[in-house]
Amino acid sequence: MQRGYLHLSHLLVWLLFAQTCADLPMCKESDYHFEYTECDVLGSRWRVAVPNKAETCTGLPDPVKGTQCTFSCSEGEYLDMQSQQCKKCAAGTYSLGTGVAFDEWDSLPPGFVTHGTNTNGGNSHTNCSNSTWTSKDDYIASNTDECSATLSYAVSLKKPGSVYFEYFYPDNSIYFEFYIQNDQCQSTDSDSRWMSVSESEWSSYRVELSSGNNVLYWRTTSYSLLDSAVKPVLLRNISISGVAYTSECFHCKPGTHSANAGSARCTPCPAETYSNKGAATCYQCGNDTYSEAGSGICKPRPACTNSDYFYTHTPCDSEGKTQLMYKWIEPKICSETVEGAVQLPASGEKKTCPPCNPGFFVTNSSTCEPCTNGLYSNGTVCTECPVGTEPVVGLEYKWWNTMPNNMKSSIYNLGFSERNTAWEVAGEYIYTKPGNDDRDYLTLTLRVPGYRLPQSVAKDGEMIELSRITFVFETMCSADCTFSFMVRYNEWRNDLVEHWKGSNRKQSYSYLIHRNNTNSFMWTFQRTEDYNSERKYSADFAKIYLIHITNVIGGVASQCRRCALMSAQAGSSCVPCPQGHYMVSATGTCRSCPPNTIIKANQAVGEAACVQCGPNTKPNKAHIACLSDCALNVQTKSGARLYYDFSPLANVTGFHSSPRFTSRGLRYFHHFNLKLCGNEGTALATCVDNVTERGREVKGFICQSTVFPSDIRSQSVVSSQPFLIGDSLIGVATDTSLNGISSPKWLFPSASTLPDVIFYYRSSETTQACKQGRSATVRLRCNPTVTAEDLITLPSNCSEGTCDGCTFHFLWESRHACPLCTRNHYREIVSACVQGIQKTTYVWQQPLQCYGGESLPAQKVSACVTLDFWLKFGVSTGTIAAVLLISVSCYFWKKTRKLQFKYSKLMMTSGGKECELPTADSCAIMEGEDAEDDIMYLNKKSFFNKIKSYSRERTSDGFDSVPLKSSSLRQREEEDSDDD
């Protein structure tokens, strides 16, 4: 029952729809178009008619079986959906067949998305919303700031195809990558993402695409802190193949045309012609108008001025004459008939040809040819080098009658590449001729095959001057012109070495070449970077007067130098002097340099080529560089001698400045690598540039690079702009200045009485700001409390390590910067005697100002006697001494009494007569016997009674009265004593 109601409702809806369709007109071919349905699992599809507007007509064709999903048309064809057959595009249109093309960039084409992101880990302070790719009519340009700008396009391919685009990538300060992400979210390998640097023209790139969904990414990030010097990456002519079909042909844009049916692309109109959209031919401009190549309109011709023509010289004729020729700039856009226009000066004036360049000679036809090997020339005739000398080979251009064979001049236009000449010879100089577009890059390229040191110069050693290029230039500008000097190492890199803004007086610039792969040099001049600028700065120019490169393979010689002679082959060419010797110019023999000196290549000849090494350094084996063995012996003002060992600090150490921020908030660091000291053969400090795949590197004692946090290519940081701060060690001292380099104490104040040890370095690379080269000081300060090996700080008032951009200062605090410990750095402490044991302990003097060297002696333990023993010993000794003193006193008292008695007896026997002595009672007294008269009759009296009697026997005159005994009486007393 319910099913019947549903069937009835469906029938009513169909009747209502049929009634409505009956009221609509029948569809015509212009009312609908055909489309294919999605492909099924068997690769089939249906062609269905789709009305252009809904409910406007009826009677659409029935669906029919469509072509297979793999069906496609060739280039220059489109698929006619009515017949489902491929047909050729009409003239004035084009088709890629199975692809799409984007060659108009007035605005961002549909499907393209661009956005800017920061590379600083999502730092909220960095605003990159405006850092995007920008449409510039015929191309799209990248950003030039530190943000990352991404351009993306998503496409679904029915079969494998490819993507093709043209790009111009002149500045390696920008990281430029192209990668693809497929529907499995798999990205292009990182090794294939790099885009090689362009030299002076557009480069092309093609890569295969797999079927399915593909997202194309073009991403750029600038890693230069000088935004004005960065040139953007340009893209144009992006085409993608692999879409199943195209049902229509595209009209040629204005300024292009396709003359034949079935064209795959449109051709730009030549200069002086124009075309409208969808043109099959280009139309000639009128006599009073002009157009540039690829232009869609003609412009009125302005009046000719002096900036619309240039002058050049013809090659020398057989008479040695050259003609001065004036020519209009091609294409000529000015009019000579307009009021106020200047006329082209008359050409053909003959002048004497300038001399040939050094190392060349004048042929019979007045042309210049190079001298052969072993010959030299000042520009006239070739002369053989004398015996004992060798030619100084190089390239020197100071006369400009014709463009040298190894130089190429070209104009690069942002819209189209042109092979026209950009630099013209003018006798004493070469200059940039007036340009057709003020934004053009006027490029001069010099190529060399390589370099070789002279036979008499030492060949080993990493820091030897392999070659040097010097040029003299001048610029005159009324706008924001830029003159740049670049070095090309390989197909991937054009390194910007130096650039100059505005007008610059005539000056010289030199650049040292350390590697043999430096094979190309480039000078570019751009009058303005203003995209909206008209042609009004044609009078601005750059001139180069001189270009000189030393030690070039295949070069010519302008002079010869003396070298050592071999006694066995006196007529042969030269042999090098032994290491540490120089050549005596008068004789060609070798003489030893003074001790502790090195040989400086390309310096003065003779003894003047021997350069003294700085304090506390010594020459390496090749005698071309001074080194420090990390040991130092210093005598202080007080006369003390300090010994240092810096070998624990000899490894390459890296450190960086405090974080800094660009104007957009991107955080970056100045990273330094330092090689303090070490013997020959140890690794030097290296700084690299990894912005592009084959980045360059610099090596020396101290180098710097700028490090940016990054999320590109899965890198945590990107290092760019490396340069050397010091490639030679000048000396090691405690003085605050050495050889013109100063390290003021106020940069790193210290309260210590111990002097700092300072390493002095210098770099031979010169820049516009540092005409004498860069230099650096590393101040080593003793700090025994520091456990880290790399506590290196920068001056507080010069956070980038330098206050003037040329001299860098670093403070390295370490315990290994302290002098080695000796006996003078510790003292001994003796403990009290405890239980017969006494300890002797050694401790460091404070504050401690040494490290390593002698260690503290071990504690000593010895036997000792306590204080109680010495007290008892003292009391006992004192008692014994007192007894002995009393005994001695009694003895001498008794002896005194005897003497008194004798004296009294003598006085009594003398009878009161002076000078008479009594006669002796006996003839002699035997030795050892006491005289009888010496015995006092005091027998059996107590000590008290003796004293009492002594006191009674004193006479009034003070003498004692002693009773005398006779001999018989004394004898009797002795007998009585014997009986007892």
pLDDT digits (tens, 9 = 90+) for 168-197: 887 777 888 898 887 766 566 655 677 887
Judge whether 496 and 689 are in contact, CB under 8 Å: no
Give domain status of residue 574, yes or no: no
Tell me the mean pLDDT in the region 807-819: 93
Whether the predicted pLDDT of 598 surpasses 50: yes
Q: What is the pLDDT of residue 93?
A: 92
Quickly state the pLDDT bin for 127 (edges 50, 70, 90): confident
Residue at which a domain ends, from 194, 216, 244: 244
Given 559, 592, 623, the domain boundary residue is 559
pLDDT for res 567: 44
Nearest to residue 674, comparing CAs of 686, 689, 682?
A: 686
Among candidate residues 244, 260, 290, the one where a domain is terminated: 244
Q: 21-25, 297-301, 458-462, 625-629: lowest mean pLDDT where?
A: 458-462
Q: Which stretch of 67-71, 632-636, 770-774, 912-916 has the lowest confidence by average pLDDT? A: 912-916
Q: How confident is the model at residue 811 (pLDDT cuts 50, 70, 90)?
A: very high
Name which of 287-291, 366-370, 600-604, 965-969 the model is least confident about. Answer: 965-969
The pLDDT tens digits of the residues spanning 934-951 come to 444 444 455 445 544 544
Q: Is the pLDDT at 666 greater than 80, yes or no?
A: no
Q: Is the pLDDT of residue 587 over 60?
A: yes
Q: Are 650 and 630 a contacting pair, CB within 8 Å?
A: yes
Whether residue 283 has pLDDT greater than 60: yes
210 and 158 together in one domain: yes
Is 197 within a domain? yes
Residue 812 and residue 834 share a domain: no
Instruction: Kindly state whether residues 670 and 769 are assigned to the same domain.
Output: yes
By C-alpha distance, which of 496, 801, 780, 791 is closest to 669? 801
Residue 626, pLDDT > 60, answer yes
Lowest mean pLDDT: which of 47-56, 73-82, 129-138, 947-956?
A: 947-956
Check whether residue 701 and residue 801 sit in a common domain.
yes
Q: Which band of pLDDT confidence, cut at 50, 70 and 90, is reported for residue 714?
A: low
Domain shared by 111 and 28, yes or no? no
H or E stretch covering 391: strand 389-397
Is pLDDT of 703 > 90? Answer: yes
235 within 8 A of 140, measured Cβ to Cβ: yes
Per-residue confidence (pLDDT) for residue 939, from 0 to 100: 46
Q: Of the ranges 198-207, 253-262, 294-303, which one carries the lowest mean pLDDT score?
A: 198-207
pLDDT at 759: 97
Average pLDDT, the chain: 79
pLDDT digits (tens, 9 = 90+) for 381-419: 899 887 777 888 899 999 998 889 899 888 877 555 445
46 touches 71 (CB < 8 A):
no
- Domain assignment present for residue 326? The answer is no
The pLDDT value recorded for residue 673 is 94
The string of DSSP codes covering 621-685 is TTSSSEE--SEEEEE-TTS-EEEEE-GGG-S-EEEE---EE-TT--EEEEEEEE-----TTPPPE
**Contact criterion met (CB below 8 Å) for 421 and 310:** no
Which residue(s) pair with 674 in the sheet?
653, 702
Q: Which of the four pLDDT bands, split at 50, 70 and 90, describes residue 701?
A: very high
Residue 919 CB-density burial (10 A; 0-12 exposed, 13-18 middle, 19+ buried): exposed
CATH of the domain at 124: 2.60.120.200
Please compute the mean of the pLDDT values over residues 490-512 and round it to a whole number: 83
Q: For 239-243, what is the mean pLDDT?
A: 84
Backbone angle region of 84, left / alpha / beta, with phi > 0 → left and psi within -120 to 50 → alpha:
left
Residue 967 has pLDDT above 50, yes or no: no
Residues 111 and 212 in one domain: yes
CA–CA separation, 434 and 436 (whole Å): 7
The mean per-residue pLDDT over the stretch 908-930 comes to: 51
Q: Report which of residues 971 and 451 the model is more confident about.
A: 451
Both tokens of 63, joined, read 């669906």
pLDDT exceeds cutoff 80 at 702: yes
Encoding tokens for residue 111?
């499907």
In a domain, 448, yes or no: yes
The sign one gets for the Cα dihedral 544, 549, 553, 556 is positive
Domain with residue 754: its CATH number is 2.70.130.10
**When comparing pLDDT for 415 and 891, which is higher?**
891
Q: Does 484 lie in the same domain as 382? A: yes
Rounded Cα gap, residues 938 and 898, in angstroms:
13
Q: Is 740 exposed, middle or buried (0-12, 13-18, 19+ CB in 10 A)?
A: exposed
Cβ-based neighbours of 786, under 8 Å, separated by 6 or more: 813, 814, 815
The number of domains in the chain is: 5
pTM of the model: 0.69
Residue 185 belongs to some domain of the structure: yes
Is the pLDDT score of 16 beyond 60? no
For residue 923, pLDDT beyond 90 = no
pLDDT 10s digits, 747-796: 999 888 889 999 999 998 887 788 888 999 999 999 888 887 778 999 98
The residue with greater pLDDT, 892 or 865, is 892
Confidence class for position 544, pLDDT limits 50, 70, 90:
very high
Looking at the chain, the whole-number percentage of residues with pLDDT higher than 90 is: 20
Q: Which of 109-123, 634-648, 684-698 has the highest mean pLDDT?
A: 634-648
**pLDDT value at residue 335:** 87
Return the pLDDT at 933.
Answer: 46
If asked whether residues 854 and 814 sit together in one domain, one would say no
User: Tell me, what's the pLDDT at 577?
Assistant: 74
* Residues 538, 457 share a domain: yes
In which residue are the tokens 């990894």 written? 690
Per the domain annotation, does 582 fall within a domain? no
Tokens of 391: 């030619």
Statement to judge: residues 186 and 166 lie in one domain: yes
The residues with which 128 forms a beta bridge, in sequence order, are none
C-alpha distances (whole Å) from 257 to each of 103, 114, 291, 608 are: 13, 30, 15, 70
- What is the average pLDDT across 369-387? 86
Which residues are CB-contacts of 644 (< 8 A; sequence separation ≥ 6)? 631, 632, 633, 634, 757, 817, 818, 819, 820
Q: What is the pLDDT of residue 692?
A: 63
The pLDDT of residue 190 = 56
Same domain, 216 and 102: yes
- pLDDT tens-digit profile of 516-542? 777 789 999 988 877 655 677 888 999
Hunting for tokens 């190089």 — which residue is that?
Answer: 394
pLDDT at 906 over 60: yes
Residues 655 and 671 in one domain: yes
DSSP string for residues in 919-979: PPSSS---TT---GGG----TT--HHHHHHHHHHTB-TTS-B------HHHHHHHHHHHHH
Residue 578 lies inside a defined structural domain of this protein:
no
DSSP 262-293: T-SSPEEPPTTEE--TT-SS-EEPPTTEE--T
Query: In what side-by-side order are the strands of the sheet with 212-222?
Result: 112-117, 148-157, 212-222, 174-182
Task: State yes or no: pLDDT of 120 exceeds 70.
Answer: no
At a CB cut-off of 8 Å and minimum separation 6, what does 716 contact?
Answer: 709, 710
In tens, the pLDDT along 825-871 reads: 888 888 888 777 888 889 888 888 888 888 888 888 888 766 666 67
Confirm whether 377 is domain-assigned: yes
DSSP, residue by residue, 586-603: TT--EEEPPTTEEEPTTS
The amino acid at 452: R
pLDDT of residue 685: 92
Per-residue pLDDT at 904 exceeds 70: yes
pLDDT for residue 931: 46
- Range of 414's domain? 354-559
For residue 966, the model assigns a pLDDT of 47
